[in-house]
Structure 1
Amino acid sequence: MFKSFAAASALAFALAVGPAYAQSGPSVVPGGVEEFAAMRDGVKLAANVFKPAGKGPWPVIVSRTPYLKDGPADKPEAPGRLAAQAKRYTDAGYVFVVQDARGKGRSEGAYLAFENDIEDGYDTLDWIAGRPWSNGKVGITGGSALGITGNAAAMAAHPALKAAYVVVAPSDLGEYRAPGGVPKEKDTSGWLKEQGVDDKVIEASRARIGDDVFWNHGSMSANRKYIRIPIYNVGGWYDIFQEGATGNFAWLQNHGAKGARGNQKVLMGPFGHGELSGDLAYPGYEQALKAAGDQEIRWFDHWLKGAPNGIMDEPPVSYFMMASARKGASSPKSRIMTSANWPPAHREVRYFLTPDKGLSTAPPTAEDSKTTYRFDPAKPVETVGGANLTFDRGPMDQRAIPTRQDYLRFQTPALDKDVVIAGPVKVELNAATDGPDTDFMAKLVDVYPDGYEAIVLDAPVRARFRNGRMADDVKPMTPNAPEELVIDLWGTAITFEKGHRIALHITSSNSPRFEVNPNTGEAAGGRKLKPRVALNSVYHDAAHPSALVLPVIYPEN
């Protein structure tokens, strides 16, 4: 199921106008009937409706998709595949509804990349609740863009919606598009350009990195307080939306409204938004996928049918603990673990940067120590793996990045015992630049005994956004004055095994994953100043310690 979501996810930000549609009748997908729902503004959205055998009404499961309910016209096998997916739900006793999003497929209107999905989600649920084949109890399901529309419908809080199953979806599209204030280049800006979106539209979006109502209209972090239903989240440690699964689960489980609080579940697996690249292979990969797929019908049976299947008696958190995983030599320490909450109970352990490019749990004692490098925007560091969408992704070997003065590798000695982490990872970086702005990039890396440098997590921070993205927080750097910049690497679960090394790589570019900073302090869109070479410094002395902060856990086995 994840492969199909990943293959479709490249459509997530397209702009399109829907074609004219026919009256309700048989769908091109076998077994379905095409019906149309009128939204509050009169726009009609097309849906395929699949019913179980026998006499209704029945509970309903719906997906709202920008990926074409009938499948792409150039893929004649699509209707059969979609019919098989629908049969999974109808065999379980549910009506299955899959609807083209506004402006997509056979739905009317203009597609504006999730801007209408809260309202359209509510109106679709209202339509479903009133249909003669519906008993008024509805669940919503889907992954990637379908997970985003599912979350939007949950925020709309229609009383007919009783539960959701959300796979690989973010908490904030704004944060996904520009983590740490650094726009993603290939996976958003570059991809939009390939789809024919006007350059002016792209530039306007790139320039709008600050925190404002535009980004927060459909933001889960701003609006999930309105959610009143149980949601089962599924995410991947190398997925582009990884933080959404754990972040949305944790907030709703612990702080959500009545109906949501205490009724959430999450499963995290060792996968990305598509097939992983590199020389690692996790032996429990298929097990994690199967575990996720097996839970969906159980979840809806419990919440839509009241089935006493025990799913709520099981731990709310299941996560895959990654470990040494070279192809053909994987470790038995890779396994699925459970927890009462996310993150699991852990101890923050700081690994401090040292002058000799080491990492040590002992705080630095030097009076004046820093490493300085020249960051030339014309010669960016190349992207090798990570949480990407449209190009190679996953735990690729960072040795592909050659030795260069602007790419700093800090690492521990070979470990004399396992270090096991599960939870959020961050870098507390004391750094300076000689101009008004620059970027700093951090990577958490698992270094194998043979030297393979497997990327685990990576993230950037744009210096002028170090204090936040609200207008009053944005501030240029004081040239050559060190300041702390916190880089949020999101979370993971991995065992750094005995004999391995824990590494932190620091640089100022990662292209084409992220936009390259011209170091001028100008926002994207309408830049006039010539890009400049920045002199950037990373500090590692007593007054300005820099540290990798890991969430260490102590499993019994």
Structure 2
Amino acid sequence: MSVSFTRTGPGPISPDATQHMVRMRDGVRLATDVYQPSSARPGPAILTRLPYDKSGEYTFMPRIAAYFTARGYRFVVQDVRGKFRSEGETLLFVNEAYDGYDTLDWVAAQDWSDGKVGMWGDSYYGFTQWAAASTGHPALRAMVPRVTGTRLGELPVLEPGRRAHDVEMSVHRFYPLSMFHDRDILDWEIDWSRRPLAAQVEEFFTAVGSRSASYDLWFPYPVSLRRFPAGSPFDAPAVPVLMTIGWWDNCAPWQWSDHREIAARPAWARTAYLLLEAIDHENNSHFAPGVPNTDPSFLPRYLDPAVEFFDVFLRGEDRELPRVRWQLAGSGDASFRTGSQWPPARAYPRKWRLAGGEAAVGDAPGGTLGPSPSPSGSPSGPPSGRPSGSPEPEPDVVAWTHDAADPVPSPVRDAFAYLAERPDERDLAARPDVLVFSSEAVTAPLDLVGPVRLDAVARSDGPEMDLFARLLDVAPDGSARLIARGQQTIIDPGTAFAVTIDMGHLGYRLAAGHALRLTVASSDAPEFVPAPGTGEHRWLAGKTVPNRQWLHLGSTSLTVSVLED
């Protein structure tokens, strides 16, 4: 079967930029654009290294450059090795550390540079900042990695002694086939219902006439790509860092992992700052849905926090920056709250119990999601309005069937741009392979601020089991929209397996009259590659087998952080 694809090459170089071919230590030259401010005196520079075309429309670097240069910064943007106008092999992750070091060397040595460099950017061009930081280059004085992580795009690997790991995202192996196949971007679609998936990849390679080195290194089992050959970034000298994490960013788990790592490293923790926004990976805002990046309001929202950060750490402005700034989605107020820590000191964990297994299989409202009695000394007043101390439900077990041939569909077409759609998910509750638990409506606004997790006991008659948990805001009209989620793969779940599903963090106001809903399922396709039910490699399996799954409700609870009034 033939595969159709489109190829996007480099856009025209901006007339405001001067392109340089910057030589790396092995002789490979990387295409690098320099944008200058009006001032001729040497000054600090902002460096961005990305694989998406420094001249392309997708990342609109010329407009970003104009924003920084208007504020007196030199802006330097580079196509990473093997992409667009840069030379070298197209290989995911492995060259970013030392290429970053050599580029910082070049920038710091230019006559328009005062030797102080900041790095800025999203996603993969957030990862390239961490890669450069891992080398300890003295010119790197500040960095602003947005919606990214040091483990960005890392394939799930079962750690020794564990039986659970992250679920494989479809983009994990598809990204090397589109963004990192060769110099250009290759757009094509895989049919996620046609198995084996790997056969379609071979058809794609035949159509293109070449293979992807990054895919071949990761398939069928990943070879370590040595992201940080100089050592972990967190073992390198600390760099002031402003991390932007989106409440609806599908890559947020990797950045929250970095946040935990930084908190354990005193040197890094002293100069680490958090910006928690109500955005998705593509910077769509919960407070301004549908506003394009060409709107006059977009660049100030997108770039002003970075400019302020660089003013302090590159220019030495005497200004106190809050350690944490965060938005409260659902409140109608897009302003940032500030604090010295995350989560705020007034936030406390609130546990909710699941009950009503028989009702949970079927349409909403399903089973019940009710608060546990408040522990001694903690704030009282369960959000559902039930009196504290009401009897806990009897232990309950609920069963459903996972069938990879008919998986629970992902609610959005593009998970990276979730807020561009933010669909009503109420119809998914009617599926027999989705468990549903709903709370009573709250009688007053309830601020959910901090981490969320599901502690569950599950089992399956299959060799592996995926658990997907989604927390939804249910409005009085019945519409249900996602506010938090998490997922895990359990290997050999057996008769009962205890698993904790990290559902990320929340900054969300549940309005009066609204309720919480938790859904539990075993698939979310095609965002995640569904387990075939046979235990085979998910890209090699040629058939699927339905599995029976069980959730032990008496041993399962949801913990949500609540902000005290």
Q: For this structure pair, what is the TM-score category when the shorter chain's length is used for normalisation?
A: 0.7 to 0.9
The answer to which of 46-55 and 273-282 deviates more is: 273-282
CA distance 1:502–1:180, change in 2 (3 Å):
farther
1:304 aligned onto 2:314? yes
Secondary structure of 1:87's aligned partner: helix
The answer to which of 293-302 and 482-491 deviates more is: 293-302
1:80-114 deviation per Cα after TM superposition (whole angstroms, max 9, x unaligned): x6444323333333222111110112211022122
Question: Is the contact made by 1:415 and 1:497 (CA closer than 8 Å) also made in structure 2?
Answer: yes
Instruction: Give me the whole-angstrom Cα distance separating, in 2, the residues matched to 1:49 and 1:163.
Output: 19
Instruction: Give me the whole-angstrom Cα distance separating, in 2, the residues matched to 1:221 and 1:428.
Output: 34
The answer to which of 82-91 and 292-301 deviates more is: 82-91
Instruction: Give me the whole-angstrom Cα distance separating, in 2, the residues matched to 1:162 and 1:521.
Output: 48
Matches within 5 A, 1:372-521: 372-385=399-412, 388-389=415-416, 395-401=422-428, 403-464=430-491, 476-478=492-494, 481-521=495-535
Aligned amino acid, residue 509 of structure 1: S
Q: TM-score, structure 2 length as denominator? A: 0.78
Residue of 245, 260, 274 corresponding to 2:282: 274
Secondary structure of 1:214's aligned partner: coil
Matches within 5 A, 1:215-364: 217-218=227-228, 223-249=233-259, 251-252=261-262, 254-256=263-265, 258=267, 260-274=268-282, 290-308=300-318, 310=319, 313-323=320-330, 331-332=331-332, 335-345=335-345, 346-355=347-356, 356=359, 357-362=367-372
Secondary structure of 2:430's aligned partner: coil
1:38-84 deviation per Cα after TM superposition (whole angstroms, max 9, x unaligned): 21211111211223334432222111121222336xx9xx9xx6444
Partner of 2:380: none
Partner of 2:30: 45
Secondary structure of 2:247's aligned partner: strand
- Aligned-pair CA distance for 1:322: 1.2
Partner of 1:468: none
Question: Is the contact made by 1:143 and 1:169 (CA closer than 8 Å) also made in structure 2?
Answer: yes
Partner of 1:22: none
Secondary structure of 1:119's aligned partner: helix
- Aligned-pair CA distance for 1:187: 7.1
Question: Is the contact made by 2:425 and 2:481 (CA closer than 8 Å) also made in structure 1?
Answer: yes
Percent identity among equivalent residues?
28
Partner of 1:6: none
CA distance 1:251–1:187, change in 2 (3 Å):
closer
- Aligned-pair CA distance for 1:504: 0.6
Q: TM-score, structure 1 length as denominator? A: 0.79
Instruction: Give me the whole-angstrom Cα distance separating, in 1, the residues matched to 2:19 and 2:212.
Output: 37
Aligned amino acid, residue 262 of structure 1: R
Secondary structure of 1:153's aligned partner: helix
Partner of 2:55: 70
- Aligned-pair CA distance for 1:207: 4.6
- Aligned-pair CA distance for 1:400: 3.3
- Aligned-pair CA distance for 1:116: 0.9
Instruction: Give me the whole-angstrom Cα distance separating, in 2, the residues matched to 1:334 and 1:269.
Output: 9
- Aligned-pair CA distance for 1:456: 1.3
- Aligned-pair CA distance for 1:377: 1.4
1:255-290 deviation per Cα after TM superposition (whole angstroms, max 9, x unaligned): 3363x332222212222123759999599x998974
The gaps in structure 2 that reach 5 residues or longer are 1-5, 158-163, 179-186, 189-203, 206-210, 360-366, 374-390
Secondary structure of 1:389's aligned partner: helix
Partner of 1:5: none
The gaps in structure 1 that reach 5 residues or longer are 1-13, 19-26, 324-330, 465-475
1:111 aligned onto 2:96? no
Question: Is the contact made by 1:227 and 1:257 (CA closer than 8 Å) also made in structure 2?
Answer: no
The answer to which of 407-416 and 49-58 deviates more is: 49-58
Question: Is the contact made by 1:282 and 1:334 (CA closer than 8 Å) also made in structure 2?
Answer: no
The answer to which of 338-347 and 371-380 deviates more is: 338-347
Secondary structure of 1:48's aligned partner: strand
Question: Is the contact made by 2:531 and 2:538 (CA closer than 8 Å) also made in structure 1?
Answer: no
Question: Is the contact made by 1:377 and 1:531 (CA closer than 8 Å) also made in structure 2?
Answer: yes
Secondary structure of 2:134's aligned partner: helix
CA distance 1:162–1:86, change in 2 (3 Å):
same
Instruction: Give me the whole-angstrom Cα distance separating, in 2, the residues matched to 1:427 and 1:524.
Output: 25
Question: Is the contact made by 1:207 and 1:524 (CA closer than 8 Å) also made in structure 2?
Answer: no
Partner of 1:472: none
Question: Is the contact made by 1:15 and 1:110 (CA closer than 8 Å) also made in structure 2?
Answer: no
- Aligned-pair CA distance for 1:147: 1.5
Question: Is the contact made by 1:374 and 1:535 (CA closer than 8 Å) also made in structure 2?
Answer: yes
- Aligned-pair CA distance for 1:173: 1.9
CA distance 1:255–1:289, change in 2 (3 Å):
farther
